[in-house]
């Protein structure tokens, strides 16, 4: 393998990355080496990071052969997560979206073993009916490509963001997305067998997006989650759970000072790997 694309071994069960891989400010040496052709950016990014959240699927699905191409461009052990299409999560009747869910997953399943969690994000201003949401969760497939399919729910409707929501998603093994955003409701209640976090506080004044002490704190939290332990210091909607079996952790640096996010992900991954 070309040294440009060389990667190192990482602690198993922890996936740390960024949102997307096509972003002009990452070119020219900021993240992508100067002169790297755009068609090789995913190949490069997937050797430097352990995961990428695909955001473009929120706006439109790709053809199956595109997903297959992304699968083939990435190394073994790398995983994608993906945001579910806007046309599904904004539907007035979520319980009636079964066909659309099947269509989306039929296409994205061509990622094969690179397919990680699917993120179902309900934006602020989207009022959720709890019964309709419960029926929707029943539609989410538990198995894809012969393996268990994981789902994560990000709810920004404050009227539905409560302990009842936590109880509901625990029944279905769905993870509650944690974000450190000050603009949206946030909680770190554990559910399912994995943790999904989206960190949205990168700042331009720090080369790694977050200062060293905050990254160290996040590395400790990741280690607790990986062991199956709750992180009681973070906000919760329900009582923290007792320690359980180890959980996989998916953590992404999203938006904010986006040009800093690759460095943030690499710095946090290095801290987790070291311990």
Pairing of strands 14-19, 175-176: unpaired
Q: Are strands 248-253 and 194-199 parallel, antiparallel or unpaired?
A: parallel
Query: What pLDDT is stored for residue 179 in this prediction?
Result: 96
1 band by pLDDT with thresholds 50, 70 and 90: very low
Say which CATH topology domain 3-274 has. TIM Barrel (3.20.20)
Mean pLDDT of 193-220: 98
pLDDT at 109: 97
* pLDDT (0 to 100) of residue 244: 86
Report d(CA 119, CA 177) in Å as an integer. 8
Looking at residue 10, what is its pLDDT? 92
29: left (phi over 0), alpha (psi -120 to 50) or beta: left
Mean pLDDT for 51-79 is 96
79-83 and 51-54 as β-strands: parallel, antiparallel, unpaired? parallel
Distance between CA atoms of 199 and 236, rounded to whole angstroms?
A: 16
- Residue 59 pLDDT > 70, yes or no? yes
pLDDT at 150: 98
Q: What is the mean pLDDT of residues 49-73?
A: 96
Can you tell me the distance from the alpha carbon of 82 to that of 80, in angstroms, rounded to the nearest whole number?
6
Residue 252, H or E segment: strand 248-253
Residue 43 pLDDT class (50, 70, 90 cuts): very high
Instruction: Give the relative orientation of helices 261-274 and 212-226 as an angle to the nearest 10 degrees.
Output: 60
Residue 6 has pLDDT above 90, yes or no: no
So what's the pLDDT on residue 39? 96
**182/88: higher pLDDT:** 88
Closest CA to 131 of 167, 91, 170, 95: 95
Map residue 147 onto helix, strand or coil.
strand
CA distance 179 to 190: 13
Q: Is the pLDDT of residue 126 over 80?
A: yes
**In this structure, are strands 14-19 and 178-179 parallel, antiparallel, or unpaired?**
unpaired
Are 170 and 163 a contacting pair, CB within 8 Å? no
| Cβ(187)–Cβ(154) below 8 Å | no
Domain parsing of the chain, residue ranges: 3-274
Is the pLDDT at 267 greater than 50? The verdict is yes
Instruction: Please determine, for residue 2, whether its predicted confidence score (pLDDT) is greater than 60.
Output: no
**259, 1 contact by CB (below 8 A):** no
What number is the average pLDDT over the span 65-78?
97
State the pLDDT at residue 7: 58
């Amino acid at each position: 393998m070309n040294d440009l694309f060389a990667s190192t071994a990482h602690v198993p069960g922890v996936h740390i990355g960024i949102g997307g891989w096509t972003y002009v400010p990452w070119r020219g040496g900021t993240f992508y080496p100067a002169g790297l052709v755009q068609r090789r950016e995913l190949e490069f990014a997937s050797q430097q990071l352990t995961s990428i959240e695909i955001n473009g699927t929120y706006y439109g699905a790709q053809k199956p052969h595109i997903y297959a191409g992304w699968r083939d461009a990435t190394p073994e052990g790398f995983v994608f997560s993906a945001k579910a299409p806007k046309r599904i999560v904004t539907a007035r009747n979520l319980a009636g979206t079964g066909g659309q869910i099947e269509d989306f997953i039929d296409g994205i399943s061509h990622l094969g073993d690179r397919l990680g969690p699917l993120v179902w994000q309900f934006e602020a201003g989207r009022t959720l009916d709890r019964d309709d949401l419960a029926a929707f969760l029943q539609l989410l497939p538990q198995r894809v490509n012969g393996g268990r399919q994981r789902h994560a729910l990000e709810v920004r409707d404050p009227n539905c963001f409560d302990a009842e929501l936590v109880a509901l998603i625990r029944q279905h093994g769905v993870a509650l997305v944690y974000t450190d955003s000050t603009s949206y409701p946030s909680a770190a209640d554990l559910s399912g067998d994995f943790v999904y976090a989206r960190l949205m506080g990168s700042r331009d004044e720090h080369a790694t997006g977050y200062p060293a002490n905050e990254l160290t704190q996040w590395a400790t939290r990741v280690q607790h989650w990986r062991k199956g332990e709750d992180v009681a210091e973070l906000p919760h909607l329900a009582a923290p759970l007792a320690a359980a079996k180890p959980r996989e952790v998916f953590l992404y640096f999203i938006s904010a000072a986006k040009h800093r996010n690759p460095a943030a992900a690499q710095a946090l991954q290095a801290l987790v790997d070291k311990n």
